[in-house]
Amino acid sequence: MVPLSFAGHDFLALPEAALYWPAQRALLVADLHFEKASWFARFGQFLPPHDSQATLDMIEVLVRRTGARAVWSLGDSFHDADGAARLDRATRHRLEALTGTLDWMWITGNHDVAMADTPGGRRVAEAEVAGILLRHEAEPDERRPEISGHFHPKLRVTLRGRHVSRRCFVGSESKLILPALGALTGGLDAGHGEIRRAVGPGAAALVPVSDRLLRFPLT
């Protein structure tokens, strides 16, 4: 876990594409896309079917590692409005056990905005905690500090002739975008115009590596 300062608060960036807020004892994750594989399977495109279990495995590991007492999921937690209904019984029970023991907050995203029910927890459009807005998609005109997801940012660079792609955070003075944690989520280049428009000037891709945070300015 690597220290990351944002909007006057201290966080820890995790290489597994999550953010821990020690003062709130909260683990922040984004774009889990539970049941993405089963959604594609309905249309005849078969992906490895264990994406929800793998994503949940990772969340459980990170909760144990950080000692989190809260999990705040920043939207697109399910791949579609019927995703929760397609969870197999064992995975649903595991998820309900977590949402029953933690302060679990589901922030709605564009994929799951029409979902009628969630396996426990509380569902909100957005939230404000200690002066920081938590929402799914960054709003370029928002002046208040904001943490969001949506874009699945990835840093793509060439090092010594090798092409390297890593999930990354993207940060500016008032915006912080989390990478996607979901097992089957793809990624948008961190320097893409839509991401740069959302975060504004002075943005950088942030990659936690070992005991330091690598910064790659997005110029």
19-78 tens-digit pLDDT = 999 999 999 999 999 988 877 777 676 666 689 999 999 999 999 999 999 999 999 999
pLDDT for 48 equals 67
pTM of the model: 0.93
In this model, does residue 81 exceed pLDDT 70? yes
pLDDT for 46 equals 66
pLDDT for 117 equals 82
pLDDT for 115 equals 85
> Is 112 within 8 Å of 38 (Cβ atoms)?
no
Q: pLDDT tens, 135-158?
A: 999 999 999 999 999 999 999 887
Give how far the C-alpha of residue 15 lies from the chain's centroid of Cα atoms, to the nearest Å.
12
Higher pLDDT, 162 or 45: 162
pLDDT for 135 equals 98
Given the DSSP bridges, would you call strands 204-209 and 212-217 parallel, antiparallel or unpaired?
A: antiparallel
In this model, does residue 15 exceed pLDDT 80? yes
> Is 13 within 8 Å of 22 (Cβ atoms)?
no
pLDDT for 157 equals 82
Amino acid letter for position 19: L
User: What residues pair up with 156 in beta bridges, in sequence order?
Assistant: 165
Of the ranges 2-16, 79-93, 96-110, which one carries the lowest mean pLDDT score? 79-93
Average pLDDT score over residue span 91-115:
94
Closest-CA residue to 23 (of 49, 42, 5): 5
pLDDT for 38 equals 79
